[in-house]
Amino acid sequence: MSKPNMKQKSLTELLHNVEAYLAQSELNGEPAQLYAPIIYSMEEGGKRLRPMLTLLACGIFGDEPEAAMPCAAAVEFFHNFTLLHDDIMDNAPIRRGKPSVFRKWNQNVAILSGDAMIVYAYRLLEKAPAHLLPQIFEVFNSTAMKVFEGQQYDMDFEGRSDVSIEEYIRMIDLKTAVLLSGAARIGAIVGGASAEDLEHITRFADELGLAFQLQDDLLDSYGTEAQLGKAIGGDILEGKKTFLMITALNGLGDEERCELQSLHQNATLPAEQKIARARELFDKVDVRTQTEERIKLHFDRALSALDALSVPVERTAQMREFAQSLVGRKK
Amino acid sequence: MSKPNMKQKSLTELLHNVEAYLAQSELNGEPAQLYAPIIYSMEEGGKRLRPMLTLLACGIFGDEPEAAMPCAAAVEFFHNFTLLHDDIMDNAPIRRGKPSVFRKWNQNVAILSGDAMIVYAYRLLEKAPAHLLPQIFEVFNSTAMKVFEGQQYDMDFEGRSDVSIEEYIRMIDLKTAVLLSGAARIGAIVGGASAEDLEHITRFADELGLAFQLQDDLLDSYGTEAQLGKAIGGDILEGKKTFLMITALNGLGDEERCELQSLHQNATLPAEQKIARARELFDKVDVRTQTEERIKLHFDRALSALDALSVPVERTAQMREFAQSLVGRKK
């Protein structure tokens, strides 16, 4: 491990290179109904959080963050596959402002092209350094299984009214945070991290993932459409059991708890009034502050995990910058 | 490579060991809605054609066919995943005499547990010999992508009336035969086959797969329910463009071609009469003989590929016996 590269690429440059790599020409093949939805799903990916974590983690330990590019792309293809199939399961018509695949094509196309995206992710892993493949493969597989477990718990929770905060945290850990930690761990493996540093970087990305998801929950009620990337209040209108909702239900008295619980099913109240009323009830038990404190808890833990790494602190500067850009600044 | 093992296990013993290995206890986990459908899908698997090919191919080149057991199981999990998702796409209520997963549970459970089965197949590949993993991984991935391409072509063909015999053969090659050849190839890699022998064993299983699928087509019209494993005439009633149907449409005059083409849509004719009438039209242009000849063509090519292997002929005896049990005997 040498000193940080003085010609280190900026986050913007790395993101640009991720986008260029993801625009794989190999997917322009036949049958078009199989491959076109994959290309469509990979367009306009926003922050590319997961592949960026892979590259940045690789760059902490090695001198070439982009040595992990095929692995980074594999994680991003896997992530986009989960969105594609989740949209069928959630009957969600819109993804990133465009029709979701099962709406633009049809459900069978969405199922099959999603399946092909999983395998395409593995095709990209073929390009990992051969001597590291067994280790990377194990992390990728165990991560993927946990994501499915998280998605199943999320669906199970829809039919339950007694989900606890800790059950909720466990679910978002599996469904969201574990893929971030897998992404970072794989990058660190490519970069040559020690076993101990692998544990720290994994914990960093896992805690960052929890903070990130809780912030997403918060923005649904207290953010702007620009911050959230979609219309505000969606979770409230669906009656989703988010951190905010569960915290409010735990804190309110019987009458208001029942009101909040059934608010999304109220057929006469307009959507904006439902959102406004939910926010009122959230405010009554200071849900916003409680959520912000929990975000800070996980974010601080993430930064502590970075501090624990055995590398010179300047090697983690870019990862800190990236983490701050995701969670830290809107407070 | 030594002489064939005098204590060679019988096909029945190998099949028994495959079944025992597939009954993985690791899948008895939580959340149950994710894992229970996987266990359910893997029960009562019939011939276990694909894992048997993997083990037998391994045994041709190495002395321990079961060295390839985790890879054999990976292929079988992948195969059963394809059935699970295909049943959603085809809206098929029954699989092997039991409700299909999406009927027994629901569609979301079927999508998600199918996804998890793919990844579970890869988990099993982790147990492949580490130095062979890159090679096995590449074969597994490219095989899986071809299976998806075949399934997409099959769906595309439903909306077309001009599918040629060669397009059909290409489709069943991708959808069915390629997984058999991938299964055998992976087994041969584990067994230590040379590059040249790998090509021969792959060609063997590919041709066997074509013969096997064409025989399945034939049995739908000319077999018994016991031979086919389900009710006779299903392809005819669905208007599926099988080898028999395409051959008949090519051979008949305009009037009878139109009759056959629209037979499955006839709302007044009872099912048995549709099947009987289709068989009459098939017989007119001797579709049965043409199909039997094509099956023989591919089966003979399969056996020639075995002959081309660089191993003593007695090492291929069990594979020949297995191939005969699949295709050869019912003539």
Model confidence pLDDT, tens digit, residues B65-88:
999 999 999 999 999 999 999 999
A275 or B5: which leads in pLDDT:
A275
| Residue A57 predicted with pLDDT over 80 | yes
Contact present, A76 and A22 (Cβ < 8 Å): yes
> In 10 A of CB B270, how many CB atoms?
9
Nearest CA distance, B93 vs chain A (angstrom): 16
Nearest by CB to residue A152, choosing from B31, B130, B141, is B31
| Residue B122 predicted with pLDDT over 50 | yes
pLDDT score for B227? 81
pLDDT score for A330? 47
Running DSSP on this structure, what letter comes out for residue A162? -
Nearest CA distance, B57 vs chain A (angstrom): 24
Check A120 against B145: CB less than 8 A apart.
Answer: yes
Contact present, B312 and B4 (Cβ < 8 Å): yes
Alpha-carbon distance of A143 to A115, in angstroms, equals 17
Type of residue found at A263: L
| Residue B326 predicted with pLDDT over 80 | yes
- Give tens-digit pLDDT for A219-278: 999 998 888 777 889 999 998 999 999 999 999 999 999 999 999 999 999 999 999 999
Contact present, B283 and B178 (Cβ < 8 Å): no
**A62 touches B: beta carbon within 8 Å:** no
Mean pLDDT over each residue of chain A, to the nearest integer: 94
Q: Which residue in B90, B117, B122, B136 has the most chain A C-beta atoms within 10 A of its own C-beta, making it the best mutation to test that interface? A: B122
**Which of 1.10.10.10, 1.10.600.10, 2.40.50.140, 3.40.50.10860 would CATH assign to domain B11-328?**
1.10.600.10
Check B134 against A151: CB less than 8 A apart.
Answer: no
Running DSSP on this structure, what letter comes out for residue B264? G
pLDDT score for B330? 47
A328 or B201: which leads in pLDDT:
B201
Closest chain A residue to B135 measured between Cα atoms?
A: A126
- Give tens-digit pLDDT for A304-319: 999 999 999 999 999 9
pLDDT score for A328? 65
Type of residue found at A296: K
Closest chain A residue to B128 measured between Cα atoms?
A: A134
| Residue A161 predicted with pLDDT over 90 | no
- Give tens-digit pLDDT for A106-131: 999 999 999 999 999 999 999 999 99
The domain segmentation of chain B, as residue ranges, is: 11-328
Percent of chain B at pLDDT > 70 equals 97
Alpha-carbon distance of A299 to A296, in angstroms, equals 5
Radius of gyration of chain B, Cα coordinates, nearest whole angstrom? 20
Average pLDDT over residues B163-173: 97
Contact residues on chain B for A140, CB-CB shorter than 8 A:
122
Closest chain A residue to B144 measured between Cα atoms?
A: A119
Contact present, B145 and A122 (Cβ < 8 Å): no
Residue A98 pairs in a beta bridge with A95
Alpha-carbon distance of A95 to A41, in angstroms, equals 9
Contact present, A42 and A84 (Cβ < 8 Å): no
ipTM over 0.85: yes
- Alpha carbon B197 to its chain centroid, in Å, reads 22
**A158 touches B: beta carbon within 8 Å:** no
**Helix (H), strand (E) counts: chain A:** 17, 2
Nearest CA distance, A151 vs chain B (angstrom): 8
Contact residues on chain A for B119, CB-CB shorter than 8 A:
118, 141, 144-145, 148
Nearest by CB to residue B152, choosing from A33, A142, A148, is A33
Alpha-carbon distance of A36 to A29, in angstroms, equals 8
- Give tens-digit pLDDT for B39-70: 999 997 778 999 999 999 999 999 999 999 99
pLDDT score for B225? 84
Closest CA to B57 of B100, B121, B14: B14
| Contact map slice: B 188-217 vs A, CB within 8 A | none
Q: What contacts 24+ positions apart, CB below 8 Å, involve A260-269? A: A261/A161, A263/A236, A263/A239, A264/A236, A264/A237, A264/A238, A264/A239, A265/A239
Average pLDDT over residues B287-316: 97
Q: Name the pLDDT band for B170 (thresholds 50, 70, 90).
A: very high
Closest CA to B316 of B63, B59, B67, B69: B59
pLDDT score for B328? 65
Q: Which residue in B100, B148, B153, B178 has the most chain A C-beta atoms within 10 A of its own C-beta, making it the best mutation to test that interface? A: B148
- Alpha carbon A88 to its chain centroid, in Å, reads 18
Q: Name the pLDDT band for B25 (thresholds 50, 70, 90).
A: confident
Contact residues on chain B for A118, CB-CB shorter than 8 A:
115, 118-119
- Alpha carbon A5 to its chain centroid, in Å, reads 29
pLDDT score for B28? 84
Closest chain A residue to B147 measured between Cα atoms?
A: A116
Mean pLDDT over each residue of chain B, to the nearest integer: 94
Q: Name the pLDDT band for B24 (thresholds 50, 70, 90).
A: confident
Nearest CA distance, A90 vs chain B (angstrom): 9
Check B115 against A118: CB less than 8 A apart.
Answer: yes
Q: What is the pTM of this model?
A: 0.95
